Amino acid sequence: MKKTTTAALSLLLCTAMLSSCGAGAGTAPQDTQAAASSETAADTTSQAVETESSAADDTTAAEETTAEAKDSTAPDTKSMTALEFANVLGNGIDLGNTHEAYGHGSYSWDTDPKVFEKLWGQPNTSQEIISGMKAAGFDTVRVPVAWTNGMDYESGDYTINPALLDRIGEVIDYAINADMYVIVNDHWDGSWWGMFGSATEETRQKAMDMYISMWTQIGERYKDYPDNLIFESANEELGDRLNDKDVAEDSGTLSAAECFETTNLINQTFVDTIRAQGSNNADRFLLIAGYNTDIEHTTDPKFKMPTDTAKDKLLVSVHYYNPSTYCLFGSVNHWGKADQYKEMNKLLESLTKFTDEGYGVIIGEYGVLTEGSEPREDWDLWFDNFINNCDLYGYVPVLWDCNGLYNKLTYKISNADVAKFFEERSNASRAAAGLSDEDIKNNARKGLDEALKAAEDRAAEEMEEAPDENTAMAWIMYQSADWSVSYSVGDVFDPTAKTDGIKATNPVITGPGEYTVALDLTDAGLPKGCVFSAVGVTNGEILYPDCIIDIKSVKINGEEIKLEGTPYTSSDDGKCTRVNLYNMWVSKVPAEARSAEKADDLSPQSMVLSDKQMIKTIEVTFDFIV
C-alpha cells in the first residue's frame, strides 16, 4: 500500500492493517508504514546475530540459481507481448510489510537486511513462505523494497549495501524456484520521493541522481535473470506524493500539472536506465507505476506511458481499494449494493484504455481489510466481482497481504472459504479444467451480469432506500478521527454506507424552515473525534436553487458547542447542497460559497473536535433558506 497523506490515516492503517503502500490514491487517502514494537525490535536484533552469513556465498548461490534455465514446459515469454504475458502471471500476492519495512535512520546502512524484514511484525522471508503462496493458487509475488535502508544517501553516497542486493536476489530465487513470477520495486521508502518537489534545484537533482543510481545498481545486479523477474518503477509515490515533506521540508512546490510532468519524466528515466543495461534488461517486461496508482488519475490524458526501445514490453500498475471506508478503514460494514457493483465495473473497465493500446495491466495492490486472519463480511461479493473484472479484461490482480489471509507461519491461507476461492481461480485449476481464455472471459461476463442483477433484486427488497430524484432529504455525513465509524460520506446519500449500529434522523426537506438532523453512534462503537462532517441535502441544488443551509446549533453528546468559524453552503456536484462542518481536505473557501449573512470568517473547519473526544451523538439544527 502506501503511506497516507495524513498522519491520522497513517496511524490507523499501521495499527489496523499493517500495510505498506506509498501514496494517496486520488482524493481518497491510503497507506501505511508500521512501527515496530519494542518486542519485535529486540527479536529482530537477535535475529540479525543468528542469521549472519557470508555475502560472498549468498552472491554465488544467487548467480548459480539465476543461470539455470526454467524447465522445458515454461512458456516462451521472450516472444510474448505485454498482453500475452499478463495472461501467464495469473493471480498475484504481495509480500507485504516485509522488505519495505523502513528502518533507515534507526539502523545503519550496512545492517543485516534480515533485521529490517521483521521491523513491521513479519517473519523473515523463506522458500517455504513463497512455495506456500504458489500452492495456495498464486503465480506471481510482488516484493516491495525499501532500498534506502541500505544507503547512506544523505551524505551523497547512493551505493546500495551489497548484502541488501544479495538478500533480494535470494528472495527472487525463492520465487523462481517455486515457478513464480516476481515483481520488485522501490516502495514508499521513507518518502524520499518528496525531494522531487523541493524548492531547491539541487535537492531535485539529487533525487533524480539517486533514482538513476538506484535502478542502475538494481538493474545491473539482476539483468541476467529470466523474464520471471519484472521491475516496477515505483509504488504510489509518483504523483501527489512527490510534494511530500517527510524528507525535504521545503517540498510542495510542484503544481498539479508539474506533478504529472515529473511522474512521466521519472517513468521514462526508469525505462531508459534499464534498457541501456543490455542482457535480459534490453527487453525485460517493465511495470510502470500509474499516477498515485489511482485509476482515475492514471487514465487522465496527462499521464503518459514511456516510449520504449523494446516492443510491447510495458505494463501499467494501479491499485484498487474502493470504497476505502469498506476496504481499508472498516467503518462501513457491508458491500454489495448495485451502485457499488456499477462503480467497480466502470472504474475497472476504464483501464481498457491501456489494453487497447497494447499495454498489460497489473493491479499491484487490492484487497479488503481483514479481521485477524478472517475476511470481512461480504468479502466474497467484493472479491468475486473484482476478479471477474480482471478475468474479463485480462488484468493481473495482486492481493495486498501482510500475514492476514495468507499465514506466513503455516504457509497457507487460514480461512477455508478464501483458500478455496483462490485455488479455484488459479492458473493450475483452470488448466486442469480445460478452460480456454475465451471460456474464462465468458464465465467472467456471466458472473458480472448475475452479480449486478442479484444486487438490483436485493435493492428492491430493502426497507431503507435512498430518496428519489424528486425528494430533498437532509443527513449528517460523518467520518471519525479514528476512522472506525462513518455514515454516508459523499454527495450521494446512501443509507447502507454506514457502520452497523448507527441510528440516524434524516428529515425530508419540504420547503423553507427549521430542521434537525442527528446521528446516534452509541451502538456503533463510540468513535473518537472527526476528520470530516457535513450536512447534506439530496437534490437541494435542483429542487431549491440557491438555497442556503444556515447552521443554528451543533450539539455533541447533547452539549452545544461553539463554532470556530461560519459554515458556508456550496455544492460539489450541482445536485447535493452541502455545508461542511469540518473537512480536513479543504483549506480554502470556494468563490461560489453562499451564506445567510456576509461574513469574513467563512470556514470549512467550523466544528473542531479533539481527536480524543468520544462521540456518542451529533445533532445539528439549521434553517433552510430558499
3-state secondary structure of 577: strand
Instruction: Provide mean pLDDT across the span 47-54.
Output: 37
Say if strands 412-413 and 577-583 run parallel, antiparallel, or are unpaired. Answer: unpaired
Lowest mean pLDDT among 147-161, 183-197, 420-434, 454-468: 454-468
| Predicted pLDDT of residue 75 | 83
Half-sphere exposure of 477 (CA within 13 A, CB side): 24
Of 471, 529, 530, 527, nearest to 495 by C-alpha is: 471
Q: Per the structure block, which three cell numbers stand in for 616?
A: 456518542
Q: With 60 as the cut, is the pLDDT of residue 12 above it?
A: no
What distances in angstroms separate CA 471 from CA 462, 493, 511, 577, one per listed residue? 18, 12, 11, 13
Q: Average model confidence (pLDDT) for the chain? A: 88
Maximum Cα–Cα distance for the chain, whole Å?
80
Q: With 50 as the cut, is the pLDDT of residue 97 above it?
A: yes
Lowest mean pLDDT among 21-25, 165-169, 183-187: 21-25
Q: Per the structure block, which three cell numbers stand in for 80?
A: 510474448
Q: Per the structure block, which three cell numbers stand in for 410?
A: 503455516
| Predicted pLDDT of residue 585 | 87
What distances in angstroms separate CA 258 from CA 190, 237, 263, 450, one per listed residue? 22, 14, 8, 43
3-state secondary structure of 504: strand
pLDDT band at 38 (very low <50, low <70, confident <90, very high): very low
Sign of CA dihedral 364, 265, 187, 280: positive
**Domains, the chain, with CATH or none:** 7-35+86-452 (3.20.20.80), 472-625 (no CATH)
Q: With 70 as the cut, is the pLDDT of residue 68 above it?
A: no
Q: With 60 as the cut, is the pLDDT of residue 553 above it?
A: yes
| Predicted pLDDT of residue 516 | 98
User: Which one is predicted more confidently, 162 or 31?
Assistant: 162
| Predicted pLDDT of residue 57 | 44
Q: Per the structure block, which three cell numbers stand in for 494?
A: 446512501
pLDDT band at 460 (very low <50, low <70, confident <90, very high): low
Residues in CB range of 523: below 8 A, 6 or more apart:
501, 502, 503
Q: With 80 as the cut, is the pLDDT of residue 35 above it?
A: no
Rounded CA separation 505/514 (Å) = 14
Q: With 80 as the cut, is the pLDDT of residue 144 above it?
A: yes
Write down the residue that cell numbers 458472473 correspond to: 447
Rounded CA separation 608/582 (Å) = 7
pLDDT band at 23 (very low <50, low <70, confident <90, very high): very low
Q: What pLDDT digit, counting tens, does each position of 310-365 carry?
A: 999 999 999 999 999 999 988 999 999 998 999 999 999 999 999 999 999 999 99
pLDDT band at 591 (very low <50, low <70, confident <90, very high): confident
pLDDT band at 60 (very low <50, low <70, confident <90, very high): very low
Q: With 60 as the cut, is the pLDDT of residue 465 above it?
A: no
- How large a percentage of the chain has pLDDT more than 90? 78
- How large a percentage of the chain has pLDDT more than 70? 87
Residues in the chain: 626
Q: What pLDDT digit, counting tens, does each position of 156-180 carry?
A: 999 999 999 999 999 999 999 999 9
361 and 355 Cβ atoms separated by less than 8 Å? yes
pLDDT band at 372 (very low <50, low <70, confident <90, very high): confident
Rounded CA separation 112/89 (Å) = 31
